[in-house]
Structure 1
Amino acid sequence: MSIAIGKSLPAIKLAATGGREVDLKSYKGKPLALYFYPKDNTSGCTLEGQDFSALYPEFQRTGVEIVGVSRDSVRSHENFRSKYGFPFTLLSDPDELLCNALDVMKEKSMYGRTYMGVDRSTFLFGADGKLKRQWRGVKVKGHAAEVLEAAQSL
């Protein structure tokens, strides 16, 4: 089930970096850029995180919080975040609760084998908790800047 523009941020709780559990409802009242990526410490996911990290001060000036999500463990996220100095929260979704709620699980293939994986996607929610923009099948280059531009127009 895909989420449509104008729909609310799902009320889901997930384990997060910093030893916390984050209830997505807690972001209501503040715009949120929620980006999904396949795997910690892979080239594309590292570049995407670095791009969001580099633009983080500008996102903060617009009042938009950035949160990354993958199926990796919190421990993996902590190492990934620490290694690259990401200033934003990473959520662990090993049971694919949020992934399924936002329909980011897609069939992929590598080396002739098919499997279900995270489709690189970003969702921009307004302060009212409603979806304003979404990007699916994201290409990393220039993506964070595109999300920032959309965030600045909220």
Structure 2
Amino acid sequence: MSETSTVKIGKRVPNLSGKTDSDTTLALKSLREKWLVIYFYPRDATPGCTTEAGDFRDLHSRFRKHNCEILGVSRDSVASHARFRAKQELPFQLIADVDETWCKAFDVIHEKVLYGKRHLGIVRSTFLIDPQGILRAEWRKVKVPGHAAAVLEQLTAE
């Protein structure tokens, strides 16, 4: 995945659409006029991903006060997302990017090393998009502790 990212700070993000955890199609353009946080994570129900989802869940009402929606994206299936969202009581939708369209558009798939083995995987990343669809901030190679709060802090500063 050596493509260059199609998203750049100060530029409009592509009008992507994808299947949600409830097996409906969501188009990014339907969220215009709101701030949007899109966070990419490797896998449902893994420790770091569960913690990150829980942090965004716990701050969700504060994001909503700033007219901001949150979307979680991974390559997991609709069914996996539905189970994960229900178990974690997530108040926001998860996008099943099984064909990697969103991942490629945001350039989040890179070589990773796990237990000495190399593989391509999602690098934990978050993007803040303004109500006109313009990318305002990005976080790549995210460390989970304190991350959701840092995104909220950036949103409130915009």
TM-score (norm 2): 0.95
**In structure 2, how many angstroms separate the alpha carbons of the residues matched to 1:131 and 1:146?**
16
The reply on whether 1:83 has 2:99 as its aligned counterpart is: no
Percent identical residues: 47
Matched residue, 1:114? 118
Q: Which amino acid aligns with 1:26?
A: S
Report the Cα offset of residue 152 of structure 1.
1.1
**Could you tell me whether the CA contact under 8 Å between 1:13 and 1:22 is conserved in 2?**
yes
SS in 2 for 1:132: strand
- Give 2:14's match in structure 1, choosing from 10, 13, 25: 10
Q: How many residue pairs get matched?
A: 154
Q: Deviations over 1:32-67 (max 9, x none)?
A: 000000000000000000000000000000111000
Q: Secondary structure at the match of 1:127?
A: coil
1:140 and 2:148 correspond:
no
Q: Following the alignment from structure 1 to structure 2, what is the Cα–Cα distance between the partners of residues 72 and 150?
A: 28
Matched residue, 1:36 = 40
Q: Structure 2, unaligned stretches of length 5 or more? A: none
Select 1:66's aligned residue among 70, 73, 80.
Answer: 70
The reply to whether residue 49 of structure 1 matches residue 56 of structure 2 is: no
Name which of structure 1's ranges 105-114 and 118-127 shifts more when overlaid on structure 2. Answer: 105-114
TM-score under structure 1 normalisation? 0.97
**Cα offsets for 1:93-118 (capped at 9, x unmatched):** 01110100010001001122111000
Give the Cα separation in 2 of the matches to 1:30 and 1:111.
41
State the SS of the aligned residue for 1:67: strand
Task: Say whether the 8 Å CA contact 1:10–1:25 is kept in structure 2.
Answer: no
Amino acid of the structure 2 residue aligned with 1:8: R
Moved more, 23-32 or 48-57: 23-32
CA-atom RMSD, angstroms?
0.8
Partner Cα distance (2:110, 2:86) in 1? 29
Q: Extract unaligned runs of 5+ from structure 1.
A: none
Do the aligned partners of 1:9 and 1:25 also contact (CA within 8 Å) in 2? no
* 1:149 partner letter: E
Where do 4+ consecutive residues of structure 1 move more than 2 Å?
A: none
